A and B are shown apart, each in its own frame.
Chain A
Amino acid sequence: MLKNYFKIAIAVLKRRKFFTFISLFGISLTLTILMVATALVDKMFNPGYPDYNQNRSLYVERIEIKNSKEGWVNMSNLSFYFFEHYVSKLKTVYKMAISSGQKSSNAYVNNKKLVIDYKYTNADYWNVLAYKFLEGKAYGDKEIKSADRVTVITKKTKEAYFGDEKSVVGQYISADNINYRVIGVVDDVSGSARNFTGGMYLPYSLSKDSQETGLMGQYNAVLLARTESDVSKMKNEFAQMMKKVPIPPDFDSIYCNADEFKTSVTRRMAGNSTSNGVAKVITLGSIFVLLFLLLPTINLVNINITRIMERSSEIGVRKAFGASSKTLVYQFIVENLILTFIGGIIGIFLSILVIYLINESDYVPNFNLSMNLTVLFLSLLNCVLFGLISGVYPAWRMSKLNIVKALKA
């Protein structure tokens, strides 16, 4: 039976090449966009290297200071002082990786300008995050205390600045006219891991603002708990601590959150200091996906109705010779599933191509999107849903067709 459905489905697809093309185009394009989008979202929420301790970590990125009478709001990253003076005293914080946002510096290689992004970190940064050292090692408390001009650079920076040289530890790199001694080379971090990516890492003691005592600054931190179960305690302790942080003059409230990784992403995308944005992101995401699926589905339903009505003589004959309405609905749904599956397979190949092109283009450095199995599975599920949704209504309508009318048409 299935083989017969297949035969007629393929024959119809071949006969109506234009319809087939439009349908397949719609299905495969929609699926491609969905798959690439899920791969992007997946990457955003699971960035991987070098942050493998997400389950044991909380992320502190932003502080908000308000004067509710005047309606003033100041929002920024935090000061090094804040982390050192308040957060490092928390008992549940096992280790803390503090780092500044990225800044650009200029270097010159053979009279050509080279832009290197750099950031300041503390010593524990290298213990919390699992950077892969290709040579040398990280700086420690000793280098930080004496404010040594040392640096850990990434492989890309090394290649851009030193060319093919095998080992560069001990050599000097000059950025913004300051010479730093290279003490380690690490693998590059994807640009999507925005708090960890960079080209050059420097001891925070070299930065001018590490001595300032305000709350606002350019730093963020990853707080690592001893165990996963300590994370919620750490969150509590952090919140308690925030109540005791003195509010700067002229203001009446301060907000700062230590969030789990995923929450930190949604807060950044859709939340603010008092709402974590999870519900908003989920709602908007679902609405987007629904709308996005709805348009091609309606389109397919329309195409399907036209296609099926063209075959009213066939429907009449099948019914006359003993097909029940149910059997016919089944046949047309199977035909539609075959169509959507072909579209799905094309879509999967297109997605692989698009993801490959995105990774190659280097638009976001070291992005490395991947089609993971979850994405693939969800996409296939999409196909089935697509086939059912866009096939059921036309099939049902056509099965209700009066035989005599169907044969006359």
Chain B
Amino acid sequence: MIRLQNIEKVYRTETVETLAINSISLDIARGEFLSIMGPSGCGKSTLLNIMGLLDEPSKGNIKIDNQDISSFSDKKLANFRNQKLGFIFQSYHLINDLQVLDNVELPLLYRTSSPKERKALATEALEKVGLSNRLKHFPTQLSGGQRQRVAIARAIVGKPQIILADEPTGNLDSAMGNEIMEILMNLNKNEGTTIVMVTHDESMAQKTHRLVRLFDGSQVQ
């Protein structure tokens, strides 16, 4: 589903050059639930962003769903992300000016769908994460765990084949974290969604199909 070949990422500032990713190759199968672990600053987020087409690698090749995206225009890339990918961030990144329902509808705004369809799909996604009674709330009126569930609803509302989650439980206590993990595992099992998750929690990583360990930009396991 995702194929990375010899990916390298160098950050250049005026004074220093940081090699954030050092020649990583990875094959992730359709329906796989993969977790990435490693110490802080070892390049986990960078790798995930490259998989999610949010950032470009300095070297190497990416194929998603057998498509080489290196030649895609901005518009085509945006459309591809919209159709295939869903993101979950550590700090939720909800839009505080918008109600929960509008936040969840967001990915659908960028494809052709009627307001009615959007509302139905968003409501359905919020039901899946157990928040159907919070549609009209604003993000600031919710707890951290609830916010992350809204973020999950937003990630799944467009029924993407791949979900990329960067420390989704990083800001939550273990009970809430377990709830989130539960939702992701069900998603993987019931809908066959491919999931790549960065985590610091060994026990959560153990629940996934495969674990990749990074150290200083290189894959060590």
Q: When the two chains form their complex, are residues A320 and B54 in contact, meaning their CB atoms are under 8 A apart?
A: yes
Complex Cα gap A405–B157 (Å): 25
Known contacts A7-B98, A407-B89; decide if A322 and B55 are in contact (CB<8 Å). no
Q: When the two chains form their complex, are residues A314 and B95 in contact, meaning their CB atoms are under 8 A apart?
A: yes
Q: When the two chains form their complex, are residues A321 and B106 in contact, meaning their CB atoms are under 8 A apart?
A: yes
Q: When the two chains form their complex, are residues A317 and B93 in contact, meaning their CB atoms are under 8 A apart?
A: yes
Select B54's contact among A3, A327, A404, beta carbons within 8 Å: A404
B58 at interface, CB cutoff 8 A = no
Stretch of A8-16, A106-114, A217-225, A336-344 lying at the B interface? A8-16
B52 at interface, CB cutoff 8 A = yes
Q: When the two chains form their complex, are residues B93 and A321 in contact, meaning their CB atoms are under 8 A apart?
A: no
A403 at interface, CB cutoff 8 A = yes
Q: Which residues of A contact B81 (CB under 8 A)?
A: 320-322
Q: When the two chains form their complex, are residues B97 and A8 in contact, meaning their CB atoms are under 8 A apart?
A: yes
Q: When the two chains form their complex, are residues B49 and A317 in contact, meaning their CB atoms are under 8 A apart?
A: no
Q: Which residues of B contact A1 (CB under 8 A)?
A: 109
Q: Which residues of B contact A3 (CB under 8 A)?
A: 115
A171 at interface, CB cutoff 8 A = no
A378 at interface, CB cutoff 8 A = no
Known contacts A324-B74, A407-B89; decide if A317 and B79 are in contact (CB<8 Å). no
Complex Cα gap A8–B105 (Å): 13
Complex interface residues of chain A between 333 and 373 (CB less than 8 A to chain B):
none
Q: Which residues of B contact A313 (CB under 8 A)?
A: 93, 95
Q: Nearest CB to that of A322 among chain B residues?
A: B82
Q: Which residues of A contact B158 (CB under 8 A)?
A: 321-322
Q: When the two chains form their complex, are residues A321 and B97 in contact, meaning their CB atoms are under 8 A apart?
A: no
Q: When the two chains form their complex, are residues A8 and B98 in contact, meaning their CB atoms are under 8 A apart?
A: yes
Q: When the two chains form their complex, are residues A322 and B54 in contact, meaning their CB atoms are under 8 A apart?
A: no
A318 at interface, CB cutoff 8 A = yes
A4 at interface, CB cutoff 8 A = yes
Q: When the two chains form their complex, are residues B49 and A322 in contact, meaning their CB atoms are under 8 A apart?
A: no
Q: Mark A228-242 against chain B: 1 for CB-CB distance below 8 A, else 0.
A: 000000000000000
| Additional A-B contact list (7), CB under 8 Å, known A12-B97, A321-B110, A322-B78 | A313-B95, A314-B97, A321-B82, A321-B107, A322-B158, A324-B110, A407-B89
Q: Can you sample 17 A-B contacts with CB below 8 Å?
A: A1-B109, A8-B97, A15-B97, A314-B95, A318-B110, A320-B81, A320-B85, A320-B87, A321-B86, A321-B110, A322-B82, A322-B111, A323-B110, A324-B75, A404-B49, A407-B89, A407-B93
Closest 3 CB pairs of A and B: A322-B82, A11-B97, A324-B78
